[in-house]
Amino acid sequence: MTITLPTNWRDLQRASRDARANAWAPYSKFQVGAALLTTTGEIITGCNVENASYGLTICAERVAVCRAVAMGLRKFSAICISLTGVPVPCGACRQFLVEFNPDLIVLLDNADNPAGTEPEVMVLSDLLPRAFRLLEP
């Protein structure tokens, strides 16, 4: 199955990379940005926020979702995740995202590539098959 990029993927990539620059990652030095696209076109960003008590660290993707939900936004169509290396969301974030849309389009942006380089695109249900759910989507 071919998955197409959202038409505004460049806006998502830009927002995700801009958010990445704000990451608080003094321990790992591993900066991550995320830009969540709502079904009504809003772009909500997040960055990872580390803590001296390592277990309290939160990923960029979950920051973006929490910000959106706090703003009353719950319907998401895509997320762009920007980081260096292998740009995939961790397992916790996959589960966190599937709560809102198992068919979420996930843009995997390797921030080592120049801006404007097309990110890899996947569907969340391919990244987290048979996800744990208590509610129907």
Residues that bind Zn ion (CB under 5 A): 59, 90, 93
Nearer to Zn ion, 121 or 127 (CB): 127
> Nearer to Zn ion by C-beta: 59 or 105?
59
Catalytic residue among 42, 50, 61, 120: 61
Give the residue with the Cβ less far from Zn ion, 37 or 93: 93
Q: What is the closest distance, in whole angstroms, from the C-beta atom of residue 73 to Zn ion in the complex?
A: 20
Instruction: Give the SS3 label for residue 93.
Output: helix
**Shortest distance, position 81 Cβ to Zn ion, whole Å:** 9
Residue number with the shortest CB distance to Zn ion?
Answer: 59
Secondary structure of residue 36 in the 3-state scheme: strand
Answer for the pair 83, 32: CB distance below 8 angstroms, yes or no. yes
105-110 and 76-83 beta bridge pairing: parallel
- Side-chain half-sphere CA neighbours of 128 within 13 A: 22
To the query of whether residue 61 is one of the catalytic residues in this protein, the response is yes
**Residue 86 CB, nearest distance to Zn ion (Å)?**
13
* Contact in structure between 124 and 101 (CB atoms under 8 Å): yes
Beta bridge partners of 74: none
The catalytic residues are: 61
